[in-house]
Homo-oligomer: A and B are copies of this chain.
Amino acid sequence: MSLDFFFNPKSIAVIGASNNKLKLGYEVFKNLKTYEGRVYPVNIRESVVQGVKAYRSVLDVPDEIDLAVIVIPRGYVKQAIIDCCKAGVKGAIVITGGFSETGAEGKRLEEEIVGIAREHGLRIIGPNCVGVMNTSVNLNATFIMSARKGYVAFISQSGALGAGIIYKTVREGIGFSKFVSVGNMADVSIDELIDYLADDEETKAIAVYLEGLRSGRRFIEACRRVYSKKPVIVLKGGVGVYGSRATQSHTGSLAGSPEIYNAAFKQARVIVSRNVTELLSMSRAFTQPRPRGSRVAVITNAGGVGVLVTDELERRGLVLARFSSETINALRRILPPIAAVNNPVDMIASARGREYYLVTKTILRDNSVDAVIVACVVPTFAGMTPTEHAEGVLKAIREARVKKPVIGLFMAGEVSLEARKLLENNGIPVYETPEEAASAIEALCKHSLYREV
C-alpha cells in the first residue's frame, strides 16, 4: 500500500491548530499554511485560527481529508482518531507524546488507538514524533523549521536529533527531499517508508537514524528489496555498552551486540555511517553514478589537502588510481613543471578554470580511474573566487562523456559559496573537509561492492 497521502496529501486537517504561540499546534499550522494543497485548522474552541476559518472536528470539515496532523493533549487523541476514521482520512501524523515511551499505561492506549485505526484502514505515523516534510511541494507537517530542498530522504527514529540535524543543515546549505520522524512507530514502520521512498523521484538516497527495531527481518528485507533502486545509509545509535543502555527506554529493539547489527546491515546491503557528519556526507554522494571499482583520482590546487584526502581514502580501504602514461604525459603538457602529475595531482595554487577543466577531463577519460575528487582551496590570486574552477569542472564532466562519480571538496568558506552552489545545482555534491569527501567516495564504492555479493 502506498504511503503517498503522507507526502502529497490533497487536503490536510491540523487537529489542534492553535492561535497560542506557545503551543506546538501554532507552529504546525503556521508551517502548513504555505503548503500547495488545501489545509484546514481544527480546534474545539476557536472559530478562526491564524486568520483561517476553523472547525470543531475533522468531521465538520466540508472536504475530503487525506491527512490529519494531530497535535492535541494525549487524552483527546483517541477521539480524534475515531473521528478521522469516520471522516475517511487516509493518514494521521500523531505528534502528541505520552504513549508507549512513558510506560505500560501509555502503551495500552497506543495499542488501542492503532487497533481502531487498523480496523478502518487509517495509517498512523508516530505517536510522539516531530512530523513529516516533503520539500518538493513545500509540505512541512512538523513544528520545526523547514528543511532545504535536496536529494536525500531522511528517516529519524529520534525526533529531536532529526530536528537538530535539519536546523544544522539549513545553516550549512544542505537539503533533503523528505523528512520523516517516525516516533514510536506504532503503525507505519521504517521498512514501509523505505519501500515508499525507493520509488520517490526526488530521492537519490535514504538516510536513517536508527536506535532499535521491532522487526529486524522486515528492515533487512526492505533494504535488500530497494538496493538496486536506492542506497540506504544508516547511523545506528546505541552501539556501545553505555549507549545501548541509553536506548533502553525505546521499545522492541533487535537484541544483540554491534557485531550482530553489523552482520544484519551487511545482509541488508546497507551502508553504515559512524556519525552524524558521515550520515550526511555519505547520503549526499548518491546524485553521482556508482563507480566500477575503488580506484580514486584526486585533483587539487593545494598539496596539503591532497595529502589529507589520500590518507582518508586509504584509511577507508580505497586505492589511489595509477594513471596511464598517456594521462601523465597529458598532465605534464597542461601543468607547470613544479606541479605533481602523479595521483594526487597537485596543480599548485596557480591553477585556474582552464587547468581544472583540462586536468579533470583528462583524468575522467583515463580507464584506470573509477572516481574523482576535485579539491579547491581558496585561490591565492587577488580577487579571484573559485567559481571559474567549478565551471571548469562542469565543462570537463560534460565533455568527458563517461559515467564516473565526481565529488567536490571546496575549502574556502564564504568565498566558495557560489562555486559550491553552481556544482550542486548540477548534481555534484560538494564538501568542506577531506574526511567528508573521502567518506562520500567510500559510500559510493561500498554500494557498488554489494552488487557483487
Contacts and interface: CB of A to CB of B under 8 A. Distances in A.
A433 interface: yes
A310 B237 CA distance: 9
Contacts of A156: 304
B307 A238 contact: yes
Contacts of A414: 167, 170-171
B311 A240 contact: yes
A104 interface: no
A382 to B, nearest CB: 5
Contact of A275 (B145, B239, B308): B308
A247 B306 CA distance: 9
Interface residues of A, number: 87
A237 B308 contact: yes
A407 B383 CA distance: 38
Interface stretch (A157-165, A226-234, A286-294): A157-165
A381 B22 CA distance: 6
Interface in A313-355: 313-315, 319-320, 338, 340, 342-344, 346, 349
A301 to B, nearest CB: 7
Interface stretch (A23-31, A39-47, A186-194, A395-403): A23-31
A164 B300 CA distance: 12
B307 A275 contact: no
- With most chain B CB atoms within 10 A of its CB, the pick from A157, A209, A411 is A411
Contacts of A383: 21-22
A382 B413 contact: no
A169 interface: yes
A162 to B, nearest CB: 8
A425 interface: no
Contacts of A349: 160
Contacts of A157: 304
B311 A276 contact: no
A167 B276 contact: no
Contacts of A304: 156-162, 209, 211, 237
Interface of A: 21-24, 26-27, 101-103, 130, 143-145, 156-165, 167-172, 209, 211, 235, 237-243, 245-247, 249-250, 274-277, 301-308, 310-315, 319-320, 338, 340, 342-344, 346, 349, 377-378, 380-383, 411-416, 432-435
9 contacts: A130-B380, A145-B378, A164-B411, A167-B412, A209-B304, A240-B315, A243-B314, A246-B340, A249-B303
Given A238-B311, A239-B311, A246-B346, 16 more contacts: A21-B382, A21-B383, A145-B415, A160-B302, A160-B303, A161-B411, A163-B302, A164-B302, A164-B411, A165-B411, A167-B415, A170-B414, A237-B308, A246-B340, A249-B303, A276-B433
